[in-house]
Amino acid sequence: MGPESTAIYYHAVIKQCQKQYGAQYEQDYPEIFIYNLPIPDVVEGLEKPEETLAQLIKGAKKIDSIGVDFMVMPCNTAHYFYPGMAKSISIPFICIFWATAKKIKAKGYKKVGFLATETTIKYKSFEKDFEKNNIELILPDQDDQESLTKIIMNILAGHKLSPDKEQMKTIIEHLKAKGAEAVVLACTDLPILLKQEDVDIEVFDTVEILAEATVQYAIGKIGNEILEQEENSPMYFKKYKSDST
């Protein structure tokens, strides 16, 4: 979700294949299926979460049915629905927040700025993974969050504006002033606009992190510990607890 960020994720996977096991020729790369599933906008809120979840489950089951070994979803916001989706399929489903939290912990950071959509911030689908790894998240204030939402919507519309990049850099400066030691781009569209070289603080790009974890899992460097399927979503409890009784 996020057609352009999906393309960037795919390219990142190719680069990780080259980096992790020296892929060179066409036959060196894994078989990959990309399924672009149009869903209602989730950046600014969840107007009909039950319907969105049903669409995502339908998409996940379609992927499951074609015989893949595991799946990923390069969209932080949609990970609110991760528990319900994971429950509905038989294949492993790599969690973007688990991979990100582990990466940050390995670097030794304790306080990081967190840039995400309003929906991700509101429903805190990321919270448990960072708490487990003793990472404190520093969030933008309301004005900065509103600015960030506009930036994300511009990116989704194909507009990569210099003023938006400058605004992002300002938001990051505000997070640094609050004590952030690094910054997480917890929306897979944000790396389209902002790169590591644009700022003087370490940036954790969740697109790159998910791509790295994808290849690590595919070649057996990490196992099922990366597959977080805890029942931590209110939507999960509401729908799937009743279905299972």
* Residue 172: partners with Cβ closer than 8 Å, 6 or more residues away: 113, 115, 180, 183, 199, 201
Which residue from 113, 125, 103, 124 is spatially nearest to 209, judged by alpha carbons? 103
pLDDT at 198: 97
Shared domain check, 111 and 43: no
Q: What CATH number is given to the structural domain containing 171?
A: 3.40.50.1860
Distance, CA of 40 to CA of 133 (rounded, Å)? 32
In the set 75, 99, 148, 203, the catalytic residue is 75
Q: CA-CA distance, 84 to 89, in Å (whole number)?
A: 9
Q: Are residues 201 and 217 in the same domain?
A: no
pLDDT at 46: 64
Q: Could you tell me where the beta strands, DSSP code E, fall in the chain?
A: 111-115, 136-138, 182-185, 202-205
Residue 113 sits in the same domain as residue 85: no
Q: In the numeric block, which tokens belong to residue 111?
A: 């306080």
- Residues 121, 56, single domain; the answer is no
Q: 89 and 16, same structural domain?
A: yes
75 is catalytic: yes
**One domain, residues 171 and 227:** no
Same structural domain for residues 174 and 239?
Answer: no
Q: How many whole angstroms separate alpha carbon 141 and alpha carbon 139?
A: 7
Q: Quote the tokens at residue 124.
A: 């805190």
Same domain, yes or no: 28 and 148: no
- Check if the beta carbon of residue 4 is closer than 8 Å to that of residue 34: no
* Segments forming the whole domain that contains residue 235: 3-96+208-244
Q: Is 167 found in the same domain as 235?
A: no
State the DSSP H helix or E strand holding residue 35, giving kind and residue range, or none if neither.
Answer: none
- How far is the C-alpha of 184 from the C-alpha of 137, rounded, in Å? 9
Q: Supply the pLDDT for residue 229.
A: 45
Instruction: Tell whether 228 and 193 lie within a shared domain.
Output: no
**Is 17 considered catalytic here?**
no
Count of H-run helices and E-run strands, the chain: 11, 4
Tell me: do 160 and 224 sit in the same domain.
no
Q: Which of 187, 190, 203, 215 is catalytic?
A: 187
Asked if residue 155 lies in contact with residue 118, where contact means CB atoms within 8 angstroms, the answer is no
Closest C-alpha among 207, 188, 181 to residue 112? 181
Q: Output the pLDDT for position 241.
A: 35
Sheet holding 136-138, edge to edge: 136-138, 111-115, 182-185, 202-205
pLDDT 10s digits, 53-111: 999 999 999 999 999 999 999 999 999 899 999 999 999 999 999 999 999 999 999 99
What is the count of structural domains for the chain?
2
Please list the rounded mean pLDDT of every run of 10 residues in the chain (245 residues).
Answer: 83 96 94 86 65 91 95 92 93 93 96 95 88 96 96 90 95 98 95 95 97 94 59 37 37
Residues 111 and 67 in one domain: no
